[in-house]
Structure 1
Amino acid sequence: MEQLFELLFKAGLRPLSIFPDTSHLESQLTRSDCATLALLKYHGKLTMSELAEHLGAPLSTATSISKRLVRKGMVSREKSEFDQRMIVNRLTPAGESIAAEMMELMQEVYTRVQSALSPEELQRFIGLALKVAKSLQEGPQSAGASRASEIRTIEIE
């Protein structure tokens, strides 16, 4: 399951697009929002630097995502009890609910894939998918690359 989690969220894929009944989530959350909620669900709490590291993004980007999710009521940001300079992110009940729904969907995907493949095929599939996702992430972006049909703007503080 952790390998699927890495493939779907950390590699930047859009796992919720697999299911037609998840459009309500993708209409209110960006891919980065989904990844952040899933990471917080998985880890429980993350400092800003940990969140940035897991997202593979600069600290300023992670901070913008975190603040956006605070405005949406899905994440709380608190000063660390051990070091007042550190900010810790946690899911609110609303964020917990959405993250749990996303994790259930991921589990459903994993179960469907697992039932279609033998254990050896499953390991081979996950390994190849991770390899492809990483190579696409690291590869050069061509100027004429096709864009998604819908471009959404994201408010950044």
Structure 2
Amino acid sequence: MDQLIELLFKQGLRPLSVFPDATALEEQMSRSELSALMVLQFHGEMAMSELAGELGAPLSTATSIAKRLQKKGWIARKPSDTDQRSILVALTDEGKQLADKGKATLSDMFDRIQDALTPEEIAQFVQLMIKVGKALQQPPTGRPAGAEQKPRSIQIED
């Protein structure tokens, strides 16, 4: 289930937004902040650029989120020992507690799903979630990743 939770957050999906028990967490922080805390819980200390990649957000956005989390005392930021240009972020004890609450809420949600599905349906559900996650990582159909559309020529009559 940990892989499924990580997959959901990596794809920018917000499973907690459809789960009423997550209201208490959402009153304390934004969904982006919770996502950052949970990514750090899964991966441990990481560079800001790595966090941005995991969140699927530009570095400037991830930096803004990290600054808010640091101000709240939930993460610590420090320069890398090997590269002073790189900033590393890690959860504080309070941040770990909040990430644990988020993970527990998600685990409860998945427990409910497991109670509602047969083992065969659970296997199908996980396979479909992985398939959807992979599909969301692919570029839109018909265009390779990073390809720009060519401008169309429009003839103008005199």
Q: If the length of structure 1 is used for normalisation, what is the TM-score? A: 0.75
Q: Runs of 5+ in structure 2 lacking a partner?
A: 141-158
1:6-155 correspondence to structure 2 within 5 Å: 6-132=6-132
Moved more, 9-18 or 70-79: 9-18
CA distance in 1, matches of 2:44, 2:36: 11
**How many aligned positions are there?**
140
Contact 1:9–1:35 (8 Å) recurs in 2: yes
CA contact (8 A) 1:4 1:110 kept: no
% identical equivalent positions? 51
**1:77 deviation in Å?**
0.3
Change (3 A) 1:110 1:13: same
What is the RMSD of the two structures over their aligned residues, measured on CA atoms? 2.4
The amino acid across from 1:77 in the alignment is R
Shift of 1:114: 2.1
* Unaligned runs of at least 5 residues, structure 1: 140-157
CA 1:120–1:19 in structure 2 vs 1: closer, same or farther (change >3 Å)?
same
SS in 2 for 1:77: strand
CA distance in 1 between counterparts of 2:102 and 2:66 reads 18
Q: Name the larger-Rg structure.
A: 2
Look up the SS of the partner of 2:89 in the other structure: strand
Aligned partners of 1:59 and 1:18: how far apart in 2? 27
TM-score between the two structures when normalised by the length of structure 2: 0.75
